A and B are shown apart, each in its own frame.
Chain A
């Protein structure tokens, strides 16, 4: 193919874009994505101005959310930083919904818009649709409706019960948001309509069943006996990790509308749960695909060199990984690691060497598309790294593991990128993405439902790591929802219960 012939097919030159061009690029990118068998939700691409991007940031990326001061805080923080030039804005924002909503900023150049379309509308989108965590824990088709329902419901609560009371409840729920997820139990799908229907039915049932006369009946002796027998029972029979769920169901003092609010926040936590578990994979997947799709466009002569230069410059910035001792280091860049791993997987399939054959015997020489697709669907960060991080990448990233022990005077280097260290580095890096490392393991141990109605929590301390001072504040919020004393035991595997924290609800504090 001659250069002239190639130039004929170029979709556009320069940075300017218009809506027709966006459509053309989207069509081309989609065609290529389909050739690569990317399965996506339909796309809804929305062009917005920078102020609107700031708005979108504040409500944690949802197109609509209920009113809360913390969103105002986020908004002000971003706006100030943006105005002072301390931060730029993300080029894109994508929402796990069906259709998949992606925001493009109007200030982006055409190559950047194409990058965003490839990254968000085909990369992230196919991840949202395919990954098992997203499939099981979120309902992409219901989320926008649900948020509209939540917003209206909370607004009506504010009208009925006052802004302060609603805010107090929401604050408390937000503090416990990380502990509002069932990790091992698949939640039921969201539906705003059903939700409203259920609320209505519950109220209706209570109304119909109301009969004041029952109150006057004397209690039978059998009843009383049963109760004393029950008293000895421990409740809940198993420790509960979903604090918000437990509060919603069993709090002795919450009003019905407060339970509904707890439920809304719990559903929200559930919706965001997979995103926290798949940061490396999700970003890596999207980055891998914008890289692959746009390079394919270039190979087919659809875009020119200028376009690719801009793409590559931005791509390089995104996947940069500074070393631990370099400026700007803030942990491992999920884009860099994820992108490198997916690219490396493709390499292992297509051009394996002896080392790969030894480490990954079951994927060498397989069709790379199937291997990547399988990885994307069935893993989260922790397992993905444990399964697929190759020695080659450990060498490229110069990864090393150090142990920080409280008693030791020094950090100790445990493993580096050598034959003896590969597996240990990989295991430890994978552990770093375990949720228990990021979110402390706190469970409900006992509810003294026949006694003083207090709630006993247990923090399962891992390797002597303490909680931050925030914990007391969170317990105060919890006791506000619970209405009675809340105790938290610090439990150590070896030593048993080592410490206790006790908080009384606001009215009963000295």
Chain B
């Protein structure tokens, strides 16, 4: 007798662990692919999966195999023209061997790269790895929706931990009163009338038998999940795009902006991105131009801050929007510009902002740039400033912000 079993409802992801192992093993190669993806992607697209490749030769499993060369006999089907003794031209170049004999090897895909698609989680993990993000921040960013638990009255079923003793006893008392009062009235009447003592005893017993606590008296505290209040935020990206900002510096900047954006997009349902680039004067541009369009000219930081203040005033009143600012620069600034910028920032802009981060990507880590010197006077818990030389330096800039949120 055959057994027929429906397994369709069984777990479909038996290989999840094997897949993780594979990704774990080739992390280095995958990170390289992820880096390429980061470069070509828009910040707002960063939270998706993506296609990556690993060189086939890296992932092949070696075996002892017989290679090309030497002598061999082959039997093929489909002869329509050969007679014994015929000579056939050997194929030139490449293999020089027979056309696909038995164990010819498995790598027949004809691809140099083993391409596959990383899921969103896998992509984010690799991205975060590069930034050396601590676990706490990871879970915060990975969690798409945040909920709060809210009390919502009482429910007749639940876990013992949520048992409301007061409510349950109230119910029990009510039930006891409701059940006992007609009997008690009857008892009183009987006693007053001097009735049959057996009957009186029976009534007393019935009253006795009413349980102290019954299952349907129990009440549990009820809690409902509620999405956190949704609101909107605007994120300003300010960057110095003068000639001294190299590709590598821009890559750091992009990672920094991405991280902040991811953070905000988890926290707020709607996030607007405003890109302001500046040389000696500032302009609002789209993301592509922001990262990829090189400009020449001097550096006036003040111009960007002015533009940001203008845009806030025009479009993003701070009563309706949560305003986040982020600025990247190599720190070059001339004359009175750093001092004026500093006071403009601390007096006019910071009071409007929930948070403002300044990231400096200088040529050498030791020198103190004019802008950094000026900004370091700012005393405001919503202001963060950090020098970033390497990808792993990016996260510490935002650490305060993340920790504040996690708390």
* A residues with CB within 8 A of B: 19, 22-23, 26, 30, 42-49, 51-52, 54-55, 58-59, 67-73, 75-77, 79-80, 99, 103, 106, 121, 163, 167, 171, 174-175, 177-179, 321-326, 329-332, 397-406, 409-418, 420-421, 425, 428-429, 431-433, 437-440, 442, 459, 461-471, 473-474, 477
Contact = CB atoms under 8 A, between A and B. Distances in A.
Given A51-B12, A52-B10, A402 B67 contact: no
A432 B75 contact: yes
28 contacts: A45-B5, A48-B7, A49-B8, A52-B10, A55-B13, A59-B14, A68-B21, A69-B22, A73-B59, A75-B18, A80-B115, A167-B21, A175-B61, A175-B62, A177-B63, A323-B79, A397-B78, A398-B79, A400-B79, A405-B71, A410-B87, A413-B82, A413-B84, A416-B79, A439-B64, A440-B64, A466-B69, A467-B66
Contacts of A402: 73-74, 76, 88, 98
Interface string B5-45: 11110101111011111111100000000000000000000
B59 A42 contact: no
Contact of A438 (B77, B83, B102, B117): B102
B211 interface: no
Contacts of A174: 61
B293 interface: no
B94 interface: no
Contact of B84 (A70, A331, A416): A416
B3 interface: yes
A474 B87 CA distance: 38
A68 B62 CA distance: 15
Given A404-B71, A404-B97, A466-B70, A326 B4 contact: no
A175 B63 contact: yes
A83 to B, nearest CB: 8
Contacts, number: 268
A411 B21 contact: no
Interface of B: 1-8, 10, 12-15, 17-25, 59-80, 82-90, 97-104, 114-117
Contacts of B100: 329-331
A273 to B, nearest CB: 15
A58 B7 contact: no
A106 to B, nearest CB: 6
A400 B76 CA distance: 6
A22 to B, nearest CB: 5
Contacts of B89: 410-411
A47 B73 contact: no
Contact of A332 (B3, B6, B77): B77
A76 B77 contact: no
B66 A465 contact: yes
Contacts of B2: 23, 26, 30, 42-45, 121
Given A19-B6, A410-B88, A417 B79 contact: yes
Given A323-B77, A432-B73, 15 more contacts: A55-B15, A58-B15, A68-B18, A69-B22, A72-B20, A75-B19, A80-B115, A324-B77, A329-B100, A398-B78, A403-B71, A404-B90, A411-B89, A462-B70, A470-B65
Given A26-B4, A76-B19, A410-B89, A399 B62 contact: no
Contact of B63 (A99, A121, A429, A470): A470
A149 B223 CA distance: 44
A59 B17 CA distance: 12
B87 A477 contact: no
Which DSSP category, helix, strand, loop or mixed, fits chain B's interface? loop
A401 B88 contact: no
Nearest to A122: B2
Contact of A324 (B8, B78, B87): B78
Contact of A106 (B8, B60, B65, B98): B8
B97 to A, nearest CB: 7
B78 A323 contact: yes
Nearest to B21: A69
Contacts of B104: 331
Contacts of B74: 401-402, 404, 428, 432
A139 B76 CA distance: 36
A329 B74 CA distance: 14
A77 B67 contact: no
Contact of A76 (B22, B61, B76): B22
A171 B14 CA distance: 21
Given A410-B87, A413-B84, A76 B75 contact: no
A54 B115 CA distance: 17
A477 B103 CA distance: 22
A469 B319 CA distance: 69
A459 B70 CA distance: 14
A97 B366 CA distance: 69
Contacts of A409: 90
A474 B19 contact: no
Q: Which 9 A-B pairs have the closest CB atoms?
A: A323-B78, A72-B22, A465-B70, A72-B18, A473-B62, A464-B70, A410-B87, A43-B2, A468-B67
Contact of A429 (B6, B19, B64, B75): B75
B260 to A, nearest CB: 32
Q: Which of B4, B77, B79 has the most CB of A within 10 A?
A: B77
Contacts of B86: 412-413
B72 A55 contact: no
B8 A414 contact: no
A507 B5 CA distance: 52
Given A332-B75, A465-B70, A178 B64 contact: yes
A474 B15 contact: no
Nearest to A421: B84
Contact of A399 (B79, B102, B103): B79
A48 B14 CA distance: 13
A59 B97 CA distance: 32
A47 B8 contact: yes
Nearest to B4: A45
Given A106-B8, A467-B67, A80 B73 contact: no
Contacts of B76: 323-324, 332, 399-400, 402
A254 to B, nearest CB: 20
A477 B23 CA distance: 21
A438 B105 CA distance: 10
A397 B75 CA distance: 11
